[in-house]
């Protein structure tokens, strides 16, 4: 699609999104705390994805299309909570899949060309999956990873703030510590303790794809803050330092390449040896 008109598309979608949200307000036109939480998260992810898109994606995705995708990425969350009283997909419903149904049911993308509708739906349907399929088209792959990076940035911010006054948890599963030490993502199904949950979120850094995302992680001090709520063992300190050093290296390497495309692997494929 031509860039002309993308700003108007986002503005129109924003109005439709806010109109849709009214169905979850009470008689005083206010939202419950859990709904407010997801609305605020949505708009922060919109800001995060705009920054990622504006700092380079080889021109595959216009920033306003990225913003439209972020605006709708969690639209299934509101009906999920209304129906099940939880945001836990494991005990309710896949919120991303539900979101694509809602998008079609309420014709939220009706102003967008069909190809663009499919592009946005594809990114949304994969944003909460363990991996993004490799057989997607280049623009689909780019937008999906852009959304996942933006989502991670805000979830890290939220969980760091929530953990700020909470104690260190020493109950680390050896298997998950080994996964973190060897730079492998920790499966959510293997999370058993609060410390495991913190390591699980740290391991997301092994699945970021854009230089701007890494720059944001480093500038905000996310790695240091997340490790601060884990035991200060020598092994964990070494893991923290290595992750930070490799991110710095990858960021510098990408800058020298003068290629603003996505990282296929933020930490490289040979680091788990």
Whether 179 and 57 share a structural domain = no
Count structural domains, the chain: 2
Compute the average pLDDT of residues 153-161: 97
Tell me: do 141 and 175 sit in the same domain: no
Q: Are 16 and 97 in a shared domain?
A: yes
Q: Which of 49-53, 162-166, 168-172 has the highest mean pLDDT?
A: 49-53
pLDDT at 253: 82
Task: Note whether 131 and 122 are within 8 A (CB).
Answer: no
For range 48-59, the mean pLDDT: 88
Summarised one tens digit per residue, pLDDT across range 235-271 is 999 999 999 998 999 888 876 554 444 444 445 443 3
Closest CA to 204 of 214, 192, 195, 194: 214
Examine the domain organization and report whether 74 and 135 are in the same domain.
yes
Q: Which domain holds residue 206?
A: 169-257
Global confidence as pTM: 0.90
CATH code for the domain in which residue 139 is found:
1.10.3210
Identify whether 113 is part of a domain: yes
More confident residue, 4 or 109: 109
Q: Which pair of tokens denotes residue 62?
A: 């216009």
Angle of helix 211-219 relative to helix 33-54, nearest 10 degrees, comes to: 120
Residue 8 has pLDDT above 80, yes or no: yes
What SS3 class is residue 73? Answer: coil
DSSP 217: H
Query: Is the pLDDT at 3 greater than 70, yes or no?
Result: no
Same domain, 140 and 208: no
């Amino acid at each position: 699609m031509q860039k002309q008109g993308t700003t108007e598309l986002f503005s129109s979608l924003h109005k439709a999104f806010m109109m849709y949200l009214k169905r979850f307000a009470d008689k005083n036109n206010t939202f419950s705390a859990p709904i407010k939480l997801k609305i605020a998260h949505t708009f922060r992810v919109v800001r995060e994805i705009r920054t990622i898109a504006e700092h380079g994606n080889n021109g595959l995705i216009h920033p306003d299309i990225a913003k439209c995708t972020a605006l709708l990425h969690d639209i299934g969350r509101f009906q999920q909570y209304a129906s099940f009283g939880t945001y836990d997909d494991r005990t309710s419903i896949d919120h991303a899949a539900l979101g694509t149904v809602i998008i079609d049911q309420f014709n939220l993308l009706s102003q967008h060309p069909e190809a663009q509708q499919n592009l946005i739906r594809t990114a949304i349907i994969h944003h909460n999956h363990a991996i993004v399929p490799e057989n997607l088209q280049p623009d689909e792959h780019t937008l999906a990873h852009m959304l996942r990076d933006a989502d991670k940035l805000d979830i890290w911010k939220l969980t760091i703030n929530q953990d700020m006054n909470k104690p260190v948890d020493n109950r680390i599963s050896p298997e998950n510590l080994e996964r973190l030490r060897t730079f492998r993502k920790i499966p959510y199904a293997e999370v058993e303790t609060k410390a495991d949950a913190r390591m699980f979120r740290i391991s997301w850094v092994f699945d970021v794809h854009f230089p701007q995302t890494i720059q944001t992680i480093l500038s905000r001090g996310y790695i240091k803050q997340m490790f601060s709520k884990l035991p200060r063992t020598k092994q964990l300190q070494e893991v923290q330092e290595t992750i930070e050093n490799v991110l710095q290296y990858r960021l510098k390497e990408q800058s020298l390449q003068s290629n603003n495309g996505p990282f296929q692997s933020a930490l490289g494929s040979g680091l788990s040896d």
